[in-house]
Copies of this chain bind each other. A is one copy, B any other.
Amino acid sequence: MPFELTKDFIEELRTAIENKDEKTALKILDSLHAADIAEIYDAVNIDEAKFLYLLLDKETAADTLAELDEDDRERFLKVLPGDVIARQFIEKMESDDAADIIGDLDEEKKEQVLSHIEDIDQAGHIIDLMSYDEDTAGGLMAKELIKVNENWTLTNCLREMRKQAEEISEVYYVYMVDDNDILRGTVSLKRMLLSDNRKKVKDIANFDVISVKTETPREEVAGIMEKYDLVALPVVDSIGRLLGRITIDDVVDVIKEEAEKDYQMASGISEDIESTDKVWVLTRARIPWLLIGLLGGILVANVIGIYEVDLGMYPEMAFFIPLIAAMGGNVGVQSSAIIVQGLANNTLGIESTVKKLGREFVVASINGVILSIIIFVYNLFASDTYALTLTVSIALFSVIIFASFFGTLIPLALNKLKIDPALATGPFITTLNDIMGLFIYLMIGRILFAVL
């Protein structure tokens, strides 16, 4: 039942566009959701997209625009005049989508579009919303909501709701305010449907309402909605007046982006990219971490350089350089990933840093002992230098302990300093552990080869 974009589908649509066959094209698009049309738009060129857009009714066109990738949308809005954007798209949009879209335009176009919005209330809402930082609750919220006074009867309520509900696509809660517009509670549509109409709103309201302030960071908003399983969350100002509401669909995107940001960081990618992005975007997102890796490699080369004479005498020392470096990196990334994820999900608990390091030390010791014994046994058979066998095992154990320690401590420290702890994963910690690990390895080697 859900739509799947195929090559054949695109071919059929393209043929219709080429023949300027509006009827066929419209029939193809007719049964599709705006999110599907947005996907199609991503796969055709700008002229084809324009042809398709002009076929859509206003509402679908507006929904589709809201569903587009930011890049695609920008490209598309560039070729349209401000009054067309205002009348064709913005008018039918919810205030949060409209504010996001207008906020991305350049100053001149922004003025043009805003001046062509006919509904003064809507223009006011959009301008209000554009003033909030997009990483806060204010930047996520929409102005459209249904608000009723606590002293109204349900009959009054229904009358007022008929007026307010027209401009809102979905209603999950009705918000109850007092005479000063202070948020007092919520009323579920279910209870409203099932209660006697002569009752007052406050008789059937739920007073235990969770809300956020406009300046609440979006990660916190996502955390609250996730924890309390909310589909909508009201936003209030500093004295508690109801300003807007955030819906779960916008927060799902935030939750996903946050989780993916950590993944990209751990993979050494510095921007939010997709495999179909342009070559220079992909290159730009990947080169920073590679430069850091290169710099790390040069530092490591210098560390090894200190031991050039030893390596000339015992070249077999070089065999295990990659093993030591890789294991340090792996352990460090594991340790930091656990902390980064714990910080992101707020599951680190109230335990102290010392206790965390203690547990990490035990885990590292167990892993270290197991792995060191394995490599020791391997080298007993594979290597004829006893000094090397001993060096590799001791160094491996030490590196695992150190890497766990740094891997745990660095993300915690970055978090205290209000720097994104995910920076500590990926190439950064790998490089640090490479340097430290090889230093330990070669030093132990120098001593043991001299002694044994």
Contact = CB atoms under 8 A, between A and B. Distances in A.
Interface in A244-295: 248-249, 252-253, 255-256, 259-260, 262-264, 266-269, 273-276, 279, 282-283, 286-287, 289-291, 293-294
Interface string A37-70: 0000011000000000000000000000000000
A308 interface: yes
A359 B35 CA distance: 27
Interface in A178-211: 188-190, 192-194, 208, 210-211
Contact of A375 (B229, B298, B300): B298
A226 interface: yes
Interface string A87-128: 000000000000000000000000000000000000000000
A370 interface: yes
Interface stretch (A19-27, A73-81, A157-165): A157-165
* Interface-centre pick from A267, A341, A427 (highest chain B CB count, 10 A): A267
A267 B172 contact: no
A144 interface: no
Contacts of A302: 319
Nearest to A342: B275
A301 B319 contact: yes
Contacts of A323: 294, 296-298, 300-301
Given A172-B172, A301-B319, A375-B298, A427 B330 contact: yes
Interface residues of A, number: 127
Interface of A: 1-2, 5-7, 10, 31, 33, 35, 42-43, 158, 161-162, 165, 168, 170-172, 188-190, 192-194, 208, 210-212, 220, 224-231, 248-249, 252-253, 255-256, 259-260, 262-264, 266-269, 273-276, 279, 282-283, 286-287, 289-291, 293-294, 296-298, 300-302, 304-305, 308-309, 311-312, 315-327, 329-331, 333-334, 336-339, 341-342, 345, 347-351, 356, 359, 362-363, 366-367, 370-371, 374-375, 378, 425-427, 430-431, 434, 438
